[in-house]
Structure 1
Amino acid sequence: MTVSDAAEFRVTGADEGDRLDVVVARTLALPRAQVAARIDAGDVTVDGAPARRSHRVRAGERVTVAAAEDEPGQPAPPLPPVRFRDEHLVVLAKPTGLVVHPGPGHADGTLVDALVAAGVPLAPAGGEGRPGIVHRLDRDTTGLLVVACTDPVHEALVDALRRRDVTRRYLALVAGVPDNRVGRIEAPIGRDPDHRRRFATVPDGKPAVTRYATVATGHVDDRPVSLLACRLESGRTHQIRVHLTAIGHPVAGDTVYGPRPALAAALDLDRPALHAGRLAFTHPVTGEAVDLAEPLPEDLAAALRRAGIEVPDVAEALGDQPPPTASGRDLS
């Protein structure tokens, strides 16, 4: 079990009436499936008594999550599909459910473990526990990720990211239809003062900019949804998920920032519908242009079909986007 930390909190009025598993996952920023497993194992109590995951919480109830017992280390996962590789760097297509590097609750079974087990050399400059890691994707986000094999290449790629010379574009299926087909969201991101394991747009946060363009719209059970192409101009934790929630269009299936269980159920989604579909940069050693596109995984393609949206060609959908109009959103 990867959710190992103990925690305790009081249910707020905003959460009253919601399911226990949804509230715990949302409050502690944990995967709902893992929270459900902890509840079923009796590790979660409400006012000191075991409760079902379907329990509808009431304001003021005390929810306690016991620390999980230590378990044997997980074996290294298989290496994800490799989309580009030479002696300097590797680009992989990360699947959902795979954590990029070790951290709290995820001591092993990570992408780093898979790379090490496969004999891929990794740049020590990435730091302890995260050698070679240049940037990361959330556990349940799929798509393209580059890893450095040497320290000079790691330094060069990190610097290129800082200069915005690396193109990172995503497809996101969101609730509702944005008022503007194309927009720019500028709002600083930091720790949510009410939920320290989440992030939010806060005045004293770090600067963050996300651009989006509407690719297509659809409906599922009379609920409107939109497929957005998103481009990062900064790299804050959970940036796209936080920014799209801030403008009222949370990523479908996201139980942390935009819990809409009926929409997720209608789309048959058990994770945020977010995919890193395009990654482009200049190779720091050879100077060649590396420009890769990764098709949508089947679970997200199936969600689009349920909404009546044609599954797009990712390279085309995430090509050059027009600049945002003056009606873009500035939330700073």
Structure 2
Amino acid sequence: MSRPDSIRFETRVEQDASRLDSLASREFELFNRSQFKQRVLQAYLNGKKAKASSSVKAGDLLCIDYLPEVQVSLEPQAMELNVIFENADVLVVNKPRGLVVHPGAGNPDGTLVNGFLHHCLHGSRLGPTQINSAQSNSDPINNPQSNSNQMKSSPGGEKSGPPGSAGDGEFRPGIVHRLDKDTSGVIILAKNSSALEHLSSQFRNRETRKQYTAIVEGVFSGPLQGDIKGYIRRRDRQRILFCHDDSQGKAAHTSYRVLDQNRETGTSLVALSPHSGRTHQLRVHMQHIGHPIAGDPLYNRKRYTHPLMLHARSLRILLPGEDTPRLFTADIPEDMIKTSEACGLNIRLAETDR
């Protein structure tokens, strides 16, 4: 028997499907396939109980009792943030690996957004609406004397947030782009809707410049720099994963440069620049060319004791009210430095590379 707060979906299936959960997520878009176990109370085929793995035939009567999506309320939570730059409109931080950017299924709180809210409302030395200037660890482009939802997804995947109204100073924080949980590095957050639109438009129009540092498998026998172009789509069977495709999916483009490599350890240090913002883009592209990122639990079959070796090293973007883009850089995490040393790679080449 279904619960009073559950939703019943019932339909006559028009085509065969290898799995019931895949059909529910892909064809009917009820929820992500990964949410099936958490949200489905019971599924039925032709009046009989069915499992997620049950095959479905055209003409079958499918009935699913499932729970509505939990609405997450954003609450400020105290959190230590590694602040790179801050002013009245934006906060730029070096996100640690393991920190989820925003609340969602399985991560209702303890996210960067929760910490961002607390920082702006309670922790910032600068008030949320009265900030005029701040000391910066960023480099304005061409000025080397300087030191270096409302939310929608990261190439390692990134997508811009929705527009806000221009010209307001209301404190309304928003995520401009995202980084995967396992990816560390620079990320920029907007404090008001005017700043959100200003920054988001640059991501939409591909006017930003992002560079990642990664340790990957193998030594490059071909060119030490190049471009990976094509399309990225979900895999046919493992729907939570993505793959490169020559003709189907969403267009994706990544440039790569080899900074160092070591034949004895069979590893390379590379700089990656995504020109589009597809989910898992860098991870999929490096796997596609035969150099999966070290420590990648999804796209690298080799098992590691260390985590994903992918770091968002820098972001070039024009801030609201400024005429010259700034270049923000995030220090490489200590575990990545140690891994590079164990691999015989010179991580300093990534630190000085722009």
TM-score normalised by length of structure 1: 0.67
Match of 1:61 in 2: none
CA distance in 2, matches of 1:290, 1:215: 24
Match of 1:161 in 2: 203
1:276 lines up with 2:284 in the alignment = no
Q: 1:286 aligns with which of 312, 322, 330?
A: 322
Match of 1:192 in 2: 235
Match of 1:296 in 2: 332
Match of 1:56 in 2: none
Match of 1:17 in 2: none
Match of 1:16 in 2: none
1:118 match: secondary structure:
helix
Match of 2:167 in 1: none
Q: 1:205 aligns with which of 249, 271, 289?
A: 249
CA distance in 2, matches of 1:309, 1:223: 9
Q: 1:234 aligns with which of 276, 296, 306?
A: 276
Match of 1:54 in 2: none
Task: Report if the CA contact (8 A) 1:77-1:111 is conserved.
Answer: no
Runs of 4+ residues deviating >6 angstroms: none
TM-score normalised by length of structure 2: 0.63
CA distance in 1, matches of 2:77, 2:302: 34
Deviations 1:264-297 (A, max 9, x none): 24xxx1x210000011111122234311222211
Which ranges of structure 2 fall in alignment gaps of 5 or more residues?
1-18, 20-32, 35-73, 122-127, 130-148, 153-160, 162-171
2:348 match: secondary structure:
coil
2:212 match: secondary structure:
strand
Which ranges of structure 1 fall in alignment gaps of 5 or more residues?
1-8, 10-26, 29-72, 320-332
Change (3 A) 1:232 1:117: same
1:224 lines up with 2:266 in the alignment = yes
Change (3 A) 1:195 1:148: same
In the TM superposition, residue 165 of structure 1 has moved relative to its aligned partner by: 1.4
CA distance in 1, matches of 2:293, 2:192: 35
CA distance in 1, matches of 2:233, 2:80: 33
Residue type of the partner of 1:135?
A: H
1:208 match: secondary structure:
strand
CA distance in 1, matches of 2:100, 2:83: 17
In the TM superposition, residue 144 of structure 1 has moved relative to its aligned partner by: 0.2
Change (3 A) 1:230 1:87: same
1:117 match: secondary structure:
helix
Match of 2:217 in 1: 175
CA distance in 1, matches of 2:231, 2:251: 4
Residue type of the partner of 1:92?
A: V
Residue type of the partner of 1:292?
A: F
More displaced stretch, 306-315 vs 224-233: 306-315
Normalized per residue, the structure richer in helix is: 1
CA distance in 2, matches of 1:298, 1:171: 13
CA distance in 2, matches of 1:206, 1:198: 14
Task: Report if the CA contact (8 A) 2:94-2:331 is conserved.
Answer: no
Using the aligned pairs only, state the percent identity: 34
Change (3 A) 1:131 1:236: farther
CA distance in 2, matches of 1:107, 1:226: 37
Deviations 1:122-150 (A, max 9, x none): 9x84369x951010001011100000111
How many residues are matched? 242
Deviations 1:137-170 (A, max 9, x none): 0101110000011111111111111222111100
In the TM superposition, residue 241 of structure 1 has moved relative to its aligned partner by: 0.3
Q: 1:126 aligns with which of 123, 129, 151?
A: 151
Change (3 A) 1:161 1:315: farther
Quick check: which has more Rg, 1 or 2? 2
Match of 2:179 in 1: 137
In the TM superposition, residue 79 of structure 1 has moved relative to its aligned partner by: 3.5
Change (3 A) 1:131 1:75: closer
Match of 1:326 in 2: none
Structural mapping, 1:237-252, within 5 Å: 237-252=279-294
Task: Report if the CA contact (8 A) 1:91-1:146 is conserved.
Answer: yes
In the TM superposition, residue 186 of structure 1 has moved relative to its aligned partner by: 0.5
2:201 match: secondary structure:
helix
Residue type of the partner of 1:126?
A: M
Residue type of the partner of 1:207?
A: A
In the TM superposition, residue 315 of structure 1 has moved relative to its aligned partner by: 4.8
Residue type of the partner of 1:302?
A: K
CA distance in 2, matches of 1:242, 1:313: 24
1:97 lines up with 2:59 in the alignment = no
